[in-house]
Chain A
Amino acid sequence: MPRGKIVNQGEVHMTALIEIESLTKRFGPFVAVDKVSFSVDSGEVLGFLGPNGAGKTTTMRVITGFLPADGGSVNVCGQDVAEFPIETRARIGYLPEGAPLYSDMTATQLLRFVASVRGLSGAEASRRVDWAVAQLGLDSVLDQTIGTLSKGFKRRVGLAQAILHDPDVLILDEPTDGLDPNQKHEVRALIRDMAKDKAIIISTHILEEVDAVCTRAIVISQGKLVADCTPGEFAARSRHHNAVVLTVRGVAEDELRSGLGALPGVADVELRVVESASSCIVFPADGKPIISVLSRHVQAQGWEIDELRVESGRLDDVFRAMTVHDRVVSERQRAAS
């Protein structure tokens, strides 16, 4: 009995719910996904980032078995998706890009249809449909034809069908696209809620979403994986990580620049245009905190402070740096050296 337990634990630790090994997908001569490898474990929410056309949707389509891979392997819950397409799909919930739905069905009909194709019937099906409807607040539109629903409601019906069977793996292609800020907030809360016992991949190009829901982020550019890290590490790559914004009154801009630039640990000072005050962003060398050095300097000079704050890092800077091609090359060379 104890032996069995050990084996079980071993399995849980060894096999991530999603394991992708040098996945390659071509469309004719065009390589859409180029030897991408990553894995997602239970409890993780993976943010899948990349510019449009980078290969995010293609990767998701291979994981869900919609497209066959040209090379490499994809395992979901320990099974190869090409070898066990039905079994693996049964354990995946998928929101395809743009949330395509049968527009001539009502929301209820669609959810019931998906439930029955997923092998749910009777009371169990009703229970699961009701649960999904409650999670996404669809009560008011249940009997409306999907074609007449707003974009936000369509997206939520798409999400409802994806979570209906309480899958181990959730693949959501731009889940919050087209939702208003409140709905975005709710959907993110729902994703965080469900993350405990699932492996979730969400693709997005809204970078704030990475901070809000993801435990990890990967960046893909031109079919290649260029980063795999936590949102914190991701932000740390930004020039703005630990940078300090300082606005003071009655100090000449030149004095500000030269005074701060001479401090230890400061790499650069960039002036900002602010009315009736002098303002700048002070960048640290090597991303190390410089706020204490700065504040001592400000006190010693007796400057009158309007604003003094630390930036955590700008994701869109990092994103741009990683995905604009010529920079990618230098980035990867740096990583290799």
Chain B
Amino acid sequence: MSKFGAIFRREVAAYFATPVAYVFGVIFLFLTGIFTFYMGDLYGRGQADLDPFFTWHPWLYLFLIPALAMRLWAEERRSGTIELLMTLPVSVWQVVLGKFFAAWFFTAIALALTFPVWITVNYLGDPDNGVIVASYVGSLIMAGGFLAIGSCISALTSNQVIAFVVAVVVCFLFTVAGLPMVLDVFSGWAPQAVVDTISSFSFLTNFQDMTKGVIDLRNLVYFASLIALWLFVNVAVVESRKGA
């Protein structure tokens, strides 16, 4: 446990030791602001809720989370520090989890810093704060899903740009799996069960369920198993390719 803690602390510190944390934080807050107030028209719609805020989260995460995750392993490979790290008496699982939770913790900080939006709606009206809390939790859980994908793909390459682009594409597929543009491809010929399965893989579908204010066990199981699966592959990738 202390080894996990050591990895976790180092990774969190690494975000703040470079401009990454500040650039990411500023851009995240800036973009959530733009999406919420301009594209989501928070003021104009006359409703005291944070729908316009949370609706955009999957699309923000699609680009920002791979940017956060791309260095997790690719940088270790490029600089050769993976050899230092993986010859310490620590298991691959401890390192994978340490890195993943560090990135997730950092995302949580960024997400928490959006609290002025929440204060704003509470000042302007009387929103259902239960729904907002559930949405925040849902958003954070979804970010974990994006991060697990990004971390795993980062382990495949020593090039952060490749890690970023591939992660965006994979995340995109998972995000839109529930939209007609994907489902139409299958609905013509595949059985309904297959279409439903693909639809249920969607980040959007699962996230939207949670922003309604109910965190269903189904959604939790979905994201938990998605994260577990990608981290499992992450471990396998690191084990088999650490010297490559």
Measured CB to CB, the residues of A under 8 A from B are 61, 64-67, 85-87, 89-90, 92, 94, 96-98, 100-105, 109, 113-114, 116-119, 121, 161
Contacts and interface: CB of A to CB of B under 8 A. Distances in A.
Contact of B87 (A65, A105, A109): A65
B109 interface: no
A96 B89 contact: no
B102 to A, nearest CB: 13
A269 to B, nearest CB: 51
Interface string B74-90: 00000111011011111
Contacts of A94: 84, 87
B18 A119 contact: no
Contact of B89 (A100, A109, A119): A119
A113 B83 CA distance: 15
A239 to B, nearest CB: 39
Given A102-B14, A102-B81, A104-B14, A89 B6 contact: no
Nearest to A58: B243
Contacts of A86: 89-91
Given A96-B87, A102-B14, A104-B17, A117 B79 contact: no
Contacts of B3: 116-117, 119
B149 interface: no
Contact of A113 (B10, B86, B87, B243): B10
Given A66-B242, A102-B14, A89 B87 contact: yes
A100 B76 CA distance: 9
A117 B87 contact: no
B2 A61 contact: no
Contacts of A64: 87
Contacts of B17: 104-105
Given A103-B79, A117-B89, 9 more contacts: A61-B243, A66-B243, A85-B91, A100-B83, A101-B81, A102-B14, A116-B2, A121-B2, A161-B84
Given A104-B14, A105-B17, A116-B2, A66 B88 contact: no
Nearest to B83: A96
A90 B89 contact: yes
Contact of B88 (A87, A98, A118, A121): A118
B13 interface: yes
A317 B45 CA distance: 86
B32 to A, nearest CB: 27
B86 to A, nearest CB: 6
26 contacts: A64-B87, A66-B86, A66-B87, A66-B243, A67-B243, A86-B90, A89-B87, A89-B89, A96-B83, A97-B83, A100-B80, A101-B81, A101-B84, A102-B14, A102-B84, A103-B79, A104-B14, A105-B10, A113-B6, A113-B10, A116-B6, A117-B3, A117-B6, A117-B88, A118-B88, A119-B2
Contacts of B14: 102, 104-105
A53 to B, nearest CB: 15
Nearest to A114: B88
Given A66-B243, A92-B87, A104 B7 contact: no
A116 B90 CA distance: 11
Question: Per DSSP, are chain B's interface residues mostly helix, strand or loop, or mixed?
Answer: helix
Contact of A100 (B10, B81, B243): B81
Interface of B: 2-3, 5-7, 9-10, 13-14, 17-18, 79-81, 83-84, 86-91, 242-243
B83 A61 contact: yes
Among B83, B87, B90, the one with the most A-chain Cβ atoms within 10 Å of its Cβ is B87
Nearest 6 pairs of A and B residues by beta carbon: A100-B80, A90-B89, A116-B6, A89-B89, A96-B83, A104-B17
B242 A117 contact: no
A89 B84 contact: no
B7 A117 contact: yes
A85 B17 CA distance: 31
A120 to B, nearest CB: 10
Nearest to A87: B89
A96 B84 contact: yes
Contacts of A92: 87
A61 B2 CA distance: 25
Contacts of B84: 94, 96, 100-102, 161
Contacts of A101: 81, 84
A44 to B, nearest CB: 21
A315 to B, nearest CB: 29
A100 B88 CA distance: 13
Nearest to B6: A116
A116 B9 CA distance: 10
A117 B83 contact: no
A107 to B, nearest CB: 14
A147 B225 CA distance: 39
Contacts of B83: 61, 66, 96-97, 100
A66 B2 CA distance: 22
Contacts of B87: 64-66, 89, 92, 94, 96
Contacts of A97: 83
Nearest to B239: A68
B88 A89 contact: yes
A66 B240 CA distance: 10
Contacts of B2: 116, 119, 121
Contacts of B91: 85-86
A53 B7 CA distance: 33
